[in-house]
Amino acid sequence: MITFSFQNINIVNQYSYIVKTFSQIYRVLYSIHSYQTLAESDNNALLISYGTNIPHWLGDHIHIYESAFFNEGYLTNSSVPQTQLQRYNDLPIIYLSRSETKEPFVCSKDKKILTNIDIIASSFFMLTRYEEVVNDSTEILDQHERFSATASIAYKESFLARPIVNEYFELLWNCIKVFYPHLQRQRLWNGRDFATCLTHDVDALRKYTLMNEILTIGSFALKRRKPSKAISSFIDYVKIAKHIKNDPYDTFDQILSLENKYGASSSFYFMAETDYSGGYQLNNKNTLQIIEKLKAANAELGLHPGYYSYNNSDIFKKQKDIFTKTLNVNSPGCRQHFLRWKTPDTWRIQEKCGIAYDTTLCFADHEGFRAGICHPFQPFDLIENRILNIWEIPLTIMDGTLSGYRNYSPQEGLSVVDSYMNTVKKYGGVMVLLWHNSFFDPDSYPGWTNIYENILAFAMQKGALLTNAGDILKIYLQQ
């Protein structure tokens, strides 16, 4: 049993959130007390205290000095740290407390371990996506109104490829092990060292559809003002569609066959209706045939809410209701279309509509750990000051990020995925991969068609559990 204690009574929800998230990863039993009620706790337990002052304690004791983060500037842009951050053994320190030294430290003194690295505030900043909430500038958004990776502290300080919250937690865990050296971190994934979560966003069922062609023609004719190109495109479409037997996006048999070969299972996120970006009808005969095939293979079916759903609860609810009614699924997981996102609004909408988990949270323009963590976690609503009743299984890498935004070659992309697997394995977490069904089309994505199987092979060689997002959450919660 570990006793966690805090001095600032105004941050009980925030402090409890970080303690709870830490305990979910390391499976430690704990109690939480304010400094005022500390006398009621077990003096034989290890105390981990958090405040500007050190409380009186006779037993084993770790003290984290509190920074000024939760003070007067809290929830304002002025509280976002300035670059360049200080480092402790190469660990970027987002928040450092005001102590007798300006340098980050972890030291032993009078049978206590003391640190001025504010593990609580720094982890809270990342997990809540604090900088996205307090920064209301539209200049940091891309053409799809998404917060850009390049605007983040993690990108500016070059730690987007590092699950920095896990690093902070590991620092605390190593301090705990000084007093309890027999403690061992549990293997969370059915005895495996880490997990690779396989997911597929089904943006389109077919490459050659009249709807897709209308969008292409409209783009040439209206946006680019090239009517001759529009006519040429339509003629090409008629010629191809007339002779094609196997549509390049109809790759579901191929995906299932590959995953069966490696003993894997994956999640497929389906749209519920069409919008400006395309889509399909969920209750269409061909769509339902594909869905039944996936069901028979024990794949997970999830919701892919449309382009306008991320900040509109009415649209989201409508699409979720269509999905649950058509597929008879009560509390699906989801991933937002185009990775469109607004913190904490999107989480709040998902919670209100009864979503079990989300797996959107990654930057579209850069792979990495947007929330600084490689484990599932419950989001915290900064505005309402509460833990939300939903889980986030943060996305790590999207195929389109590798090939498009980052312009990697297929082999470079594979190397990047391999590197992230090694990082996630180090912390016993989960790497979430998004690989669209359309990404197996050799004409649209030359050279990439074999990369997915290579990823599966790498994951198996490294000892990963290969499964879908629903199973990831189920396994994580049952420990």
Average pLDDT of adjacent 10-residue blocks, the chain of 479 residues:
96 98 96 92 90 93 97 96 95 89 91 96 98 93 97 98 98 97 94 98 91 53 58 56 76 98 98 90 95 98 98 98 96 98 98 98 98 98 98 98 98 98 98 98 96 98 98 93
Q: Looking at residue 217, what is its pLDDT?
A: 56
The DSSP symbol for 192 reads B
Q: Looking at residue 259, what is its pLDDT?
A: 97
Q: Please state the pTM of the whole predicted model.
A: 0.93
d(CA 226, CA 234): 13
Angle between the 252-261 and 451-461 helix axes, to the nearest 10 degrees?
20
- What phi and psi values does residue 455 have, to the nearest 5 degrees? -65, -45
Q: Looking at residue 103, what is its pLDDT?
A: 93
Which are the contacts of 367, defined by CB distance < 8 A and separation ≥ 6? 161, 396, 397, 398, 401, 402, 406, 416, 420
Which are the contacts of 154, defined by CB distance < 8 A and separation ≥ 6? 126, 160, 164, 368, 369, 370, 372
Angle between the 451-461 and 410-426 helix axes, to the nearest 10 degrees?
30
In terms of CATH, what superfamily is 194-206+247-478? Glycoside hydrolase/deacetylase (3.20.20.370)
Q: How many CA atoms lie within 13 A of 363 on its CB side?
A: 26
User: Is residue 117 within 8 Å of residue 96, measured between CB atoms?
Assistant: yes
Using alpha carbons only, how large is the chain's radius of gyration in Å?
24
Pick the closest to residue 100 from 65, 68, 148 (CA basis).
65
Q: Tokens at residue 456, please?
A: 């599966």
The DSSP symbol for 117 reads B
**108 burial level (CB within 10 Å; 0-12, 13-18, 19+):** exposed
Q: Identify the H or E element spanning 47.
A: strand 46-51
d(CA 106, CA 115): 4
**Domain map (residue ranges) of the chain:** 2-179, 194-206+247-478, 208-244
Q: Looking at residue 216, what is its pLDDT?
A: 53
Cα angle: 302, vertex 307, 310; to 5 degrees: 75
